A = this chain, B = another copy of it.
Amino acid sequence: MTKDSTSPWRKKLHDIIYEADTPAGKLFDVVLLILILASIALVMLESVKSIDARFHDYFEIGEWIITIFFTLEYFARIVTIKKPSTYIFSFYGLIDFFSTIPQYLAFFFIGSNALLTVRALRLLRVFRILKITRYVGESNKLSRALKDSRAKISIFLFAVLILCIIAGTIMYMVEGEESGFTSIPVSVYWCIVTLTTVGFGDIAPVTPLGQFIAALIMILGYGIIAVPTGIVSAEYAKDMEPSKVTIDGEDYVHMNTQCCQNCNAKKHRDDAEFCHKCGNSLDRDF
């Protein structure tokens, strides 16, 4: 609410880069999104030998154009923010840095091609543009449900892992090396492939006993695949529905005691995201 005494152009640039409310800000976000996608496409196409052989020079030029734009964007972000360190060491600040630097490194040290991969992380910035859409509300609920069920899913996956180590060791003993179960780690890998119902088939049991145990593992996996689903379903359903009741044909929805930070209005619905008086965001998670 309080204005700061920065120069007007910095203020304006800040609004364009960090916000998406103005037309210029939206345009900036769209251009950024296109460049990110183009950048990802370049990295992917460069890895295809036949395509790279034909268009290598064009890719190189495109890469430099994108890199220079991202470099300018990076410095613009630093310049326009009041406390640069909050941006530089933020999640996106680090991604911006580490996804721009490889191209320069590659220029000086030929062969450091691997670092280019870091640029793939740039795509995560695509979520920024989603901030202005209704998707974010959903995504917040989703991530909240996931966060709530993280502990349960962790312990579940841990139990699955223990099961895989035990079953993998048994399969190693039963099938042996001639069936492809060359070591316990490989057997455990096979167990994970099987229990998650991926089933590559690069390794498969050939002895009757091995196939019998494999069938048991699969039946078990089929039975327990329900568990994480049930957890997330229940958590998500809990998160989604406000407590509502109907008496004498009229709806009553629970009003909580939350207080709007803007107009002090009280008694919002549990699932309210905006104040029903002033429309101010009630979001508590940011």
Given known A-B contacts A48-B183, A155-B139, A228 and B235 have beta carbons under 8 A apart? no
Given known A-B contacts A184-B47, A230-B232, A252-B249, A40 and B142 have beta carbons under 8 A apart? no
A230→B149 CA distance, assembly (Å): 12
Protomer copies: 4
Contact in complex: B231, A229 (CB < 8 Å)? no
Contact in complex: A49, B249 (CB < 8 Å)? no
A112 at interface by CB-CB < 8 Å = no
Q: Which residue of B lies closest to A198 (CB)?
A: B199
Q: How far is the CB of A146 from chain B (nearest CB, A)?
A: 7
Contact in complex: B243, A234 (CB < 8 Å)? no
Contact in complex: A226, B222 (CB < 8 Å)? no
Q: Which residue of B lies closest to A187 (CB)?
A: B47
Consensus secondary structure, chain A interface: helix
Q: Which residues of B contact A245 (CB under 8 A)?
A: 243, 245-247
A275 at interface by CB-CB < 8 Å = no
A65 at interface by CB-CB < 8 Å = no
A156 at interface by CB-CB < 8 Å = yes
Which bracket fits the contact residues of A?
Answer: 35 or more
Q: A54-73 toward B: CB 8 Å interface, digit per residue (1/0)?
A: 00000000000000000000
A4 at interface by CB-CB < 8 Å = no
Q: Which residues of B contact A232 (CB under 8 A)?
A: 226-227, 229-230
A142-200 contacts to B (CB < 8 Å): 142, 145-146, 151-157, 160-162, 165-166, 169-170, 172-173, 182-186, 188-189, 192-200
Name the segment of A17-25, A82-90, A208-216 touching the other chain: A208-216
Name the segment of A6-14, A27-35, A118-126 touching the other chain: A118-126
A151→B208 CA distance, assembly (Å): 29
Q: Which residues of B contact A238 (CB under 8 A)?
A: 237, 240-241
A265 at interface by CB-CB < 8 Å = no
A23→B46 CA distance, assembly (Å): 56
Q: Which residue of B lies closest to A216 (CB)?
A: B192
Contact in complex: B44, A184 (CB < 8 Å)? yes
Residue pairs across A and B with Cβ atoms less than 8 A apart, 19 shown, are A40-B165, A43-B184, A47-B183, A48-B183, A123-B165, A126-B162, A138-B151, A142-B231, A153-B226, A156-B223, A160-B219, A193-B218, A199-B199, A202-B204, A222-B228, A226-B229, A226-B232, A243-B246, A245-B245
Interface residues of A (CB under 8 A from B): 40, 43-45, 47-49, 114, 117, 120-121, 123-124, 126, 130, 134-135, 138-139, 141-142, 145-146, 151-157, 160-162, 165-166, 169-170, 172-173, 182-186, 188-189, 192-202, 204, 206, 208, 211-212, 214-215, 218-219, 221-223, 225-238, 240-241, 243-255, 267
